[in-house]
Amino acid sequence: MFRIAAKSNPRFFEACIITILIIITMGISISVLNATPHIPIILVISLLIAYGLIKKVSFRDLEEGMIAGASAGLGAVFIFFFIGILISSWMMGGTIPTLVYFGFSTVSPSFFFAIVFLVCSIVGIAVGSSLTTVATVGVAFIGIASAMDISLAITAGAIVSGAFFGDKMSPLSDTTNLASTTVGVDLFEHIKNMGWTTIPAFVISFVLYAIISPTGTDASFETVEHFKEGLLATGLVHWYTLLPLVVLVIMTLYKAPALITLAVVSIVGVGLAYVNEPLALSSVFDMLFNGYKSETGIAEVDALLTRGGMNSMLFTIALVLLALTMGGLLFTLGIIQSLLSKVESLFTSAGSVITGAAITGIGVNTLIGEQYLSILLTGEAFKAQFAKVGLAPKNLSRVMEDAGTVINPLVPWSVCGIFIASVLEIPTTSYLPFTFFCLLGPILTIAFGWSGKTLTKLEK
């Protein structure tokens, strides 16, 4: 978006007022009125257009700015469509049910918090959705913890940490795809680069959960067995259904483009569906568009497995295009440029620019409470700054996830925070101190930024 020429040159104070009004509008709409982010964004777009006309910026220039902003998200749109197809194909082919089943098979009374964290991580990677993981296996673990009479707050912290580790590192995740496409980084290169901060955070979190886990606890694991029986009842749990995962890893190692990789592993998933049970081609097409529908009769299992399809991505796609349209207007009106001009003198090193991006991601999450906007706005605002200090774009996409994706569930008035607190019936402030993985994300990314370790320089 930095290629969008500013048609106005507002003063810094004026740009701050506009920004504060946007934050207030978004914050009240999402946190107080429980509006979906789309509506307040449209309202902000309307306000920015009115502001631009008052500043005597022609509507044609404003329109061109909106189009330029939205066009920056077309790469993400195609990725999201393929993600929806991939999830459906992996559901009908049995890949995701098998991964979830193996995850539940690791549960035991010993090291309970560590195992909860591990299983939620596996399920999160398998389904690519933190909120789905929390609402299904997370609820099951809360029930188990209640029966065992151990800390529900720590259990919730382990659930949230595992779910967001999976969401962050899964190629099926919309936030992971959004972060990579926003700054123009290959999806699998982005995931690989996140490993430098994410793996240490995972290991440290796992050890901490193991240390604080109760020992010698006897409890009934009927809930887990209930899940496993439901998964087996689908007839989709087989060792060979992990073939698409193997293909995915191989193609990633050979650095195949993300779109091609997603298309190939989706085809493999559909092929496995025919191995498990012959399907009518019309049914396959319907599932690829509308998603896989589980009908085991077990509500929890059906809620976990009923997902995917191109249609499921339309909510995210609409939000991305609207947010980028808003971003295009902010650049056209010179608001972003005016704000950055006052602080860019501070961004003279890798450490300072990474810290600035991390604070921005945390700030948007805290002030607005919206995960996608924290990724989009941080990415668009800091592209040029990272290039100026000689850092490759994948450094920025990593920071956007380390200080954006994993922070949203820690904010009580955020979209994720409200959802998780209501589903688990545990206040955000109660589980926050125990979300070790989420808390470590921004700490490690800033620490590596100042140390210079794991950073990739911009190719000349």
For 29-66, the pLDDT digits (tens) are 877 887 877 898 899 999 999 999 999 999 999 999 89
d(CA 140, CA 185): 36
Q: What percent of the chain has pLDDT over 70?
A: 93
Are the C-beta atoms of 400 and 179 separated by less than 8 Å? yes
Query: What does pLDDT average to over the chain?
Result: 84
- Greater confidence (89 vs 143) lies with 89
pLDDT score recorded for residue 360 = 87
pLDDT mean over 83-91: 85
For residue 19, with 0-12 CB atoms within 10 Å meaning exposed, 13-18 middle and 19 or more buried, which class applies?
A: middle
Amino acid at 377: L
d(CA 437, CA 137): 18
d(CA 117, CA 158): 5
For 312-334, the pLDDT digits (tens) are 888 878 877 887 788 788 889 98
- Provide the pLDDT confidence category of residue 218 given band limits of 50, 70 and 90: low
For residue 396, how far is the Cα from the chain centroid? 15
Are the C-beta atoms of 366 and 375 separated by less than 8 Å? no
d(CA 234, CA 266): 20
Above 60 in pLDDT, residue 2? no
Phi, psi of 207 (to 5 degrees): -65, -45
User: Containing H/E element for 140?
Assistant: helix 139-148
* Residue-by-residue DSSP string for 194-225: HHHHHHHHHHHHHHHHHHHS-SS-----HHHH
Amino acid at 384: A
Residue 327 structure tokens:
């971003």
Are the C-beta atoms of 255 and 188 separated by less than 8 Å? yes
Are the C-beta atoms of 97 and 305 separated by less than 8 Å? yes
Beta pairing partners, 457: 391
pLDDT score recorded for residue 59 = 93
- Provide the pLDDT confidence category of residue 341 given band limits of 50, 70 and 90: confident
Q: Where are the alpha helices (DSSP H) in 333-349?
A: 335-343
- Cβ neighbors of 409 (< 8 A, separation 6 or more) are 130, 160, 164, 416, 417, 420, 428, 435, 438
Q: 3-state SS string over 225-276?
A: HHHHHHHHHCCCCCHHHHHHHHHHHHHHHCCCCHHHHHHHHHHHHHHHHHHH
Above 60 in pLDDT, residue 75? yes
Highest mean pLDDT out of 121-130, 227-236, 268-277, 437-446: 437-446
For 186-196, the pLDDT digits (tens) are 888 999 999 99
- Count of Cβ atoms closer than 10 Å to residue 251 Cβ: 18
- Greater confidence (298 vs 445) lies with 445
Q: 3-state SS string over 92-119?
A: HHCHHHHHHHHHHCCCCCCCHHHHHHHH
First to last CA, the chain: 21
Output the CA–CA distances (angstroms, integers) from residue 25 to 10, 19, 170, 234, 414, in the order listed: 20, 10, 32, 46, 14
Above 70 in pLDDT, residue 263? yes
- Which of these, 172, 212, 213, lies nearest to 191 by C-alpha position? 172
- Which of these, 328, 379, 315, 377, lies nearest to 67 by C-alpha position? 328
Above 80 in pLDDT, residue 444? yes
Q: What is the DSSP letter of 136?
A: I
User: Containing H/E element for 322?
Assistant: helix 314-332
